[in-house]
Amino acid sequence: MNSTKLKQAADLIRKAKYAVAFTGAGISVESGIPPFRGENGLWNKTNPNFLEIEFFKKKPFQSWQKIKEIFYDNLGDAEPNAAHEILAKMEKRSFLETIITQNIDHLHQKAGSKYVYELHGTYKQLVCTECSSEFDMSFADLNYLPPTCYICKGILKPDMVFFNEPIPHFAKKRSFEEAEKADVLLIIGTNAEVLPAADIPVKAKEHGAKIIEINIKPSHFTDTITDIFLEMKATEAMKEIGQLLYL
């Protein structure tokens, strides 16, 4: 069943004029990073309010304690998996133009992908809440929380989009432009619950793109915009697609 659909998916990608990937937390699960929702989902165990922007501003120390525990104590050791690596190979061989990701784990770049739009920012950078100066996270000693700005002593915040914060303008603008140009969109590992990110694949569909979706279970996209649904793990499906494209 999947083999026919895998061949159809590889064919679409091979013949595509402008293929774009749209990824969510599911692509990083096999790198050891838990998803936010569904089985083993982070939000099943942890109240997400520590990532709400007003909470952060009022209680930066408590917020940073959870941020450090959940993101910085774990993400540093995470390595890209086969799905990230095959997307990077697809870019090198011009089978893929760009990746639009909701993930903040930097694993696409670590795998070698160059054209990546991070809709929800990145954990790799810290930004000052007072003077907006930016620092690589390696500059911060997270044994002293909250970290403060080297220039103005303001409180530093991870350069990730918190709940009730707007998406970075440039990433949002370019992501919708990419969606409008795509004739094939490869969606990997997203529940499609969070807006405006989930509007991007819908925009691609509206502009005529064929939608290939990889997920271990149906998402909100599957019965609405998806043309080829590969009910598989990201690494399994991408390894098969990589072989069919002779990567």
Q: Which stretch binds ligand APR (CB under 6 A): 3-11, 85-93, 204-212, 213-221?
A: 213-221
Cα 207 off chain centre by: 22
Tokens describing residue 100: 């639009």
Q: Is 50 helix (H, G, I), strand (E, B) or coil?
A: helix
Q: Which stretch binds ligand APR (CB under 6 A): 136-144, 174-182, 183-191, 202-210?
A: 183-191
Cβ(80)–Cβ(111) below 8 Å: yes
Q: Is residue 219 at the binding interface for ligand APR, with CB under 6 A as the rule?
A: yes
Q: What is the DSSP letter of 18?
A: S
Q: Is residue 25 at the binding interface for ligand APR, with CB under 6 A as the rule?
A: yes
CB of 102 to ligand APR, least distance (A): 4
Nearer to ligand APR, 149 or 205 (CB): 205
Q: Is residue 226 at the binding interface for ligand APR, with CB under 6 A as the rule?
A: no
Restricted to residues 134-153, the positions that interact with ligand APR (CB under 6 A) are: none
Contact mark string toward ligand APR, 150..179, x via CB under 6 A: ------------------------------
Active site residue 220: no
Tokens describing residue 142: 């997270």
Q: Who contacts 157 (Cβ-Cβ below 8 Å, separation ≥6)?
A: 56, 60, 126, 127, 128, 129
Tokens describing residue 243: 């072989």
Q: Which residue of 187, 191, 213, 229 would you call a contact of ligand APR, by CB under 6 A?
A: 191
- Residue 36: burial class (beta carbons within 10 Å; 0-12, 13-18, 19+): middle
Q: Is residue 217 at the binding interface for ligand APR, with CB under 6 A as the rule?
A: yes
Q: Is residue 220 at the binding interface for ligand APR, with CB under 6 A as the rule?
A: no
Q: Which residue is nearest to ligand APR (CB)?
A: 26
Q: Is residue 72 at the binding interface for ligand APR, with CB under 6 A as the rule?
A: no
Q: Is residue 216 at the binding interface for ligand APR, with CB under 6 A as the rule?
A: yes
Q: What is the DSSP letter of 72?
A: I
Active-site residue (options: 84, 120, 207, 220): 120
Distance CA 84, CA 246 (A): 16
Q: Which residue of 2, 18, 37, 154 would you call a contact of ligand APR, by CB under 6 A?
A: 37
Q: Phi and psi (nearest 5°) for 101?
A: -120, 145
